[in-house]
Homo-oligomer: A and B are copies of this chain.
Amino acid sequence: MKIIIIGSVAAGTSVAAKARRNQENVEITIYEKDSDISYSGCGLPYYIGEDYIKRDNLTPRTPSWFKKRFNIDINTQHEVIDINPSTQTLTIRNLATGDLFQDKYDKLVLATGATPFIPPIKNLNQKHVFSLRNVHQADSILNFISNHAPKHAAIIGSGYIGLEMAENLQNRGLKVSIIEMEALPMPALDPDVSVHILKELKNKKIEFYGNETADSILHFNENKFVELKSGKQIKADLVIVSTGVKPQTELAKNINLQTSVHGAIRVNEHMQTSIDNIYAVGDCAVAYSRIDFEPVWVPLGSTANKMGRICGDHITGGSLKFEGILGTGIFKVFDLSVATTGFTEEEARNKGYNIAVHHNFKPNQTEYFASSSEMMIKMIADKDTGKILGAQIIGKNGVDKRIDVIATAITFGATAEQLFHLDLAYAPPFSTTKDPVHYSGMVLNNAVKNSNPIITPYELLKNRQDYQVVDVRSSKQYNDGHIEGAINIPLPELREKYNQIEKHAKVVVHCNKGVTGNAAQNLLQNLGFRQVFNLSGGYKNYKLYLMAKS
């Protein structure tokens, strides 16, 4: 049997290695149009920003390493230009010589990856404008920086790469601006999460231009700018276009492979496409949601690796199946870690779930440690089943731990109640006695069961007139700023003064972050109030929500 794989970054090499591990007597050939293989695409921004990361760190494997270890033939600078599925024949161009030749496969794997989406910006094709998807592009940016010493960078688009580049270009001494079509950075997240990123960018002196679209790249003698559709001109002698990627599927389209969301190649659980003996893996292939089994396209290295291994196993007779993804992702932007798994609030609402939403502000570890800092877990549960649908977390430390615990729990269909029972590891340097994940589970469980309903700032302001708002913080805190129309009864006085509240109205109580509000809610309920809501994340989250809206 001869296996041919097109592409050799994460997914392609995983296919090859797993196939060889399973079988010695198959021929495995990879064609790769680039000269680099098996590189760490996710490491590119850090390679640009950090001196101690060397090119070799990103490209630790060579074709000869794969030959020696796995008896796999990797042909770099070889572009497959045509596939004939009926004869199972490929036409390949050797990019070094220009020669064309043919090769035959028994099993073909497309691991062609994704390619930057380039928006229609005038005069984009200039020497100081880059996108960032492979090591060559990173080399070009580094060379440009050392040869031209640019002072001002503009980053167009604020997804993972855009935000990581903001940090790493500032590391290199550049003044950085970000241009984003949506109001807030990282628009894939909910606005009340992204607003924390906006705050961090402002803290770090990054200029953020939200609701703006780049129109053209301008020169006035030595001065270079990005001109926005609004007419603003942003100084930029280095421009990074990071407005997302799209699946690279020209070859697939030529042979009419079925595609799915975002034009990615449709595959089954063994990574088989709609044509016999052709597989697709990695960023060019579609995945599906572990939660509702709908197709999703979230091109990430972690998924590409899994798909590759599953495909290599199936080709050589194994039984591995793809089990879906949660779209779990994480990135660092300056001092913040930002992570997501499962559905955002917007996704869950769009899918028609009846949801409870909670914003949980908690320290990552016992507060008396110097490295203790606050994180915010926004978690979403399905009111009908109690199951966790998703979470987004923002904070300085310990974010990666909580997102992985929640992703694991969602994978097994955990309910909010089950989160409380998890036996997680506690010692003061690592956590709090009840972990933030326990708290999120407890509060959401009470909300799902309607014993302690919560209300988000969004829901409150949508029908503000329906609610009587009771601020249970101290009068000093109240006087420093409060929700319009709220009355102030500090919790210690609530047992005496609850008669000031209209018993048959819908009441929203709140404190600063939510815990004291929960105590007030319990007290009022026990005193006979029937419709008491605790404001999710308290006044702190309310202010952030107003900031996100403005």
Show 16 residue pairs from A and B whose CB-CB distance is below 8 angstroms, ordered by the A residue.
A23-B526, A46-B369, A52-B368, A301-B433, A302-B425, A302-B434, A323-B421, A329-B425, A330-B426, A400-B425, A400-B431, A404-B425, A408-B408, A408-B424, A411-B418, A412-B414
Q: Are B411 and A328 in contact (CB under 8 A)?
A: no
The 4 closest A-B pairs by CB, nearest first: A24-B526, A412-B412, A330-B425, A57-B368
Interface residue from B405, B420, B491 paired with A408 (Cβ < 8 Å): B405
Interface string of A491-512 (1 = CB under 8 A from B): 1100100000000000000000
Interface flag for A1 (CB, 8 Å):
no
Q: How far is the CB of A24 from chain B (nearest CB, A)?
A: 3
Interface flag for A104 (CB, 8 Å):
no
Residues of chain B lying within 8 A (CB to CB) of residue A332: 427, 429-430
Q: Are B408 and A409 in contact (CB under 8 A)?
A: yes
Interface flag for A488 (CB, 8 Å):
no
Residues of chain B lying within 8 A (CB to CB) of residue A523: 24
Interface residue from B20, B46, B328, B516 paired with A428 (Cβ < 8 Å): B46
Q: Which secondary structure characterizes the binding site on chain A?
A: mixed
Q: In the complex the two chains form, what is the Cα distance from A400 to B424 in whole Å?
A: 9
Which of A70, A366, A414, A492 has the most B CB atoms < 10 Å from its CB? A366
Residues of chain B lying within 8 A (CB to CB) of residue A492: 68-69
Residues of chain B lying within 8 A (CB to CB) of residue A301: 426, 433
Interface flag for A467 (CB, 8 Å):
no
Q: In the complex the two chains form, what is the Cα distance from A412 to B423 in whole Å?
A: 12
Q: How far is the CB of A209 from chain B (nearest CB, A)?
A: 25
Q: Are A423 and B400 in contact (CB under 8 A)?
A: no
Which of A404, A421, A423, A526 has the most B CB atoms < 10 Å from its CB? A423
Residues of chain B lying within 8 A (CB to CB) of residue A428: 40, 42-43, 46
Q: Are A404 and B401 in contact (CB under 8 A)?
A: yes
Interface flag for A422 (CB, 8 Å):
yes
Q: How far is the CB of A463 from chain B (nearest CB, A)?
A: 27
Q: Are A519 and B69 in contact (CB under 8 A)?
A: yes
Interface flag for A253 (CB, 8 Å):
no
Q: Are A424 and B407 in contact (CB under 8 A)?
A: yes
Q: In the complex the two chains form, what is the Cα distance from A514 to B230 in whole Å?
A: 59
Residues of chain B lying within 8 A (CB to CB) of residue A519: 21, 69-70
Residues of chain B lying within 8 A (CB to CB) of residue A408: 405, 408-409, 412, 422, 424
Residues of chain B lying within 8 A (CB to CB) of residue A412: 408-409, 412-414
Residues of chain B lying within 8 A (CB to CB) of residue A42: 426-428, 433
Residues of chain B lying within 8 A (CB to CB) of residue A366: 40, 43
Q: Using CB atoms, name the residue of chain B closest to A316.
A: B526
Taking Cβ atoms with an 8 Å cutoff, the residues of A that contact B are: 10, 20-25, 40, 42-43, 46, 52-54, 57-58, 68-71, 160, 290, 300-303, 305-306, 309, 323-332, 337, 339, 341, 366-370, 400-401, 403-405, 407-409, 411-414, 418, 420-431, 433-435, 491-492, 495, 516, 518-519, 522-523, 526-527
Q: How far is the CB of A447 from chain B (nearest CB, A)?
A: 14
Q: Using CB atoms, name the residue of chain B closest to A400.
A: B430
Number of copies: 2
Residues of chain B lying within 8 A (CB to CB) of residue A527: 24
Q: In the complex the two chains form, what is the Cα distance from A423 to B430 in whole Å?
A: 23
Q: How far is the CB of A444 from chain B (nearest CB, A)?
A: 15
Q: In the complex the two chains form, what is the Cα distance from A523 to B423 in whole Å?
A: 41
Q: How far is the CB of A141 from chain B (nearest CB, A)?
A: 17
Q: Using CB atoms, name the residue of chain B closest to A43.
A: B428
Which of A160, A300, A427 has the most B CB atoms < 10 Å from its CB? A427
Q: Are A328 and B425 in contact (CB under 8 A)?
A: yes
Q: In the complex the two chains form, what is the Cα distance from A52 to B495 in whole Å?
A: 37
A403 and B423 in contact, given A366-B43, A368-B54 (Cβ under 8 angstroms): no
A425 and B405 in contact, given A306-B420, A495-B71 (Cβ under 8 angstroms): no
Q: How far is the CB of A11 from chain B (nearest CB, A)?
A: 11
Q: How far is the CB of A338 from chain B (nearest CB, A)?
A: 10
Residues of chain B lying within 8 A (CB to CB) of residue A425: 302, 328-330, 339, 341, 400, 403-404, 407
Residues of chain B lying within 8 A (CB to CB) of residue A43: 366, 368, 428
Residues of chain B lying within 8 A (CB to CB) of residue A329: 425-427
Which of A337, A370, A408 has the most B CB atoms < 10 Å from its CB? A408
Q: In the complex the two chains form, what is the Cα distance from A20 to B525 in whole Å?
A: 12
Q: In the complex the two chains form, what is the Cα distance from A300 to B424 in whole Å?
A: 11
Q: In the complex the two chains form, what is the Cα distance from A225 to B325 in whole Å?
A: 60
Residues of chain B lying within 8 A (CB to CB) of residue A411: 418, 421-423
Residues of chain B lying within 8 A (CB to CB) of residue A305: 433-434
Which of A52, A53, A411 has the most B CB atoms < 10 Å from its CB? A411
Q: Using CB atoms, name the residue of chain B closest to A326.
A: B423
Residues of chain B lying within 8 A (CB to CB) of residue A40: 366, 428, 433
